[in-house]
Structure 1
């Protein structure tokens, strides 16, 4: 009798809770819910794996981008002239037509002009040579570094001795697209020991800090 009462109460609870569903239906629903829970857990696991992969790809891309940015900030050049130059005009640009280094492609061996690729602080140095018996025999050779058409720093190779050299260095904060070159303020010839490895006239520069 007690068992029958329990059974009747269970049936009534089933009907009350699930609106007419049988207990077997309830069991099926529970089973279905368990299956859905397992699928949800599997899906969640897949999502976590995908998120990890995305995170790894983002870090890799960021690293490659930083590397690319670093490479783009590498600006340095060194050029020289291996033939003498005579009959130089006042304020003429000296063209150092042989390029040894040109990271960033800022220097032109055709025009002799360095065009600033990116803004920053730059260091420059140049060296000129004068041979009294070969070029400009009676006049000192005075050259200067020019920024956007304005002379900034000069150096001189005087005619006192048979062979003379002059050089200087400068540091400037420059903007992208600024132009820098070496110009002649006095004298009409620059010497180079053509055909040898002794290249006296040189022009170099590099980016110190963006």
Structure 2
């Protein structure tokens, strides 16, 4: 009987120890579960912040893209220092270029790169320029050696919002109606884009 009683006491002690270990394990599991839930809440909060930043970047992405390209001169008989108007607009992201008056108006402040090509009549000098706010930013003198020979010119310009840029020529005494040539292969154009 003593032996049986001793075995029962030993078994009861082991059961109590097992119950104690189970209670400790249960507490550890509950703590781990709480930590996991807190970490998940933190991760979900960070995901929401990243999604908001992504939406903001996506909304901004289209607004910072400023680029245009237009060709086909409205009037080949331009007077000295008259703005060339290029009527066929093939690109106008940011709506900065006007095919009505030939001006590019900066929708946002920044550094812009402009490029233009003019094609001339044979043996007629053309003094060309890209102008911004009345200041010449790129210029040169060109005399086509044959009909339809073209020259291109470019320049980078720092502009504030609302400032304008355009292409113009000086005929250097030649009749202005005899200066510019254009056909289906030789295009006169004006293009530009925001660098930053």
Give, in angstroms, the shift of residue 54 of structure 1.
Answer: 4.8
Distance 1:199 1:102 in 2: 21
Cα contact 2:107–2:162 (8 A) shared by 1: yes
Is 2:99 the counterpart of 1:114?
no
Q: Which residues of 2 match residues 175-186 of structure 1 at below 5 A?
A: 175-186=160-171
Partner of 2:67: 76
- Stretches of structure 1 that go unaligned for 5 or more consecutive residues are 1-41, 133-137
Cα contact 2:105–2:163 (8 A) shared by 1: yes
Distance 1:155 1:128 in 2: 11
1:25-54 deviations in Å (ceiling 9; x for gaps)? xxxxxxxxxxxxxxxxx9xx6x98776655
Give, in angstroms, the shift of residue 56 of structure 1.
Answer: 3.0
Give, in angstroms, the shift of residue 151 of structure 1.
Answer: 2.0
Cα contact 1:157–1:164 (8 A) shared by 2: no
- Stretches of structure 2 that go unaligned for 5 or more consecutive residues are 1-33
Give, in angstroms, the shift of residue 57 of structure 1.
Answer: 2.8
Q: Which residues of 2 match residues 177-196 of structure 1 at below 5 A?
A: 177-186=162-171, 188-189=176-177, 190-193=180-183, 196=184
Is 2:188 the counterpart of 1:201?
yes
Distance 1:67 1:141 in 2: 45
Cα contact 1:142–1:185 (8 A) shared by 2: yes
Distance 2:89 2:60 in 1: 24
Count of residue pairs brought into register by the alignment: 158
Give, in angstroms, the shift of residue 66 of structure 1.
Answer: 1.3
Is 2:146 the counterpart of 1:156?
no
Distance 2:153 2:143 in 1: 14
Give, in angstroms, the shift of residue 160 of structure 1.
Answer: 4.5
Partner of 1:170: 155
Distance 1:101 1:86 in 2: 22
Cα contact 2:73–2:84 (8 A) shared by 1: no
Say which SS state the counterpart of residue 105 (structure 1) adopts: coil
**Aligned Cα RMSD in Å?**
2.6
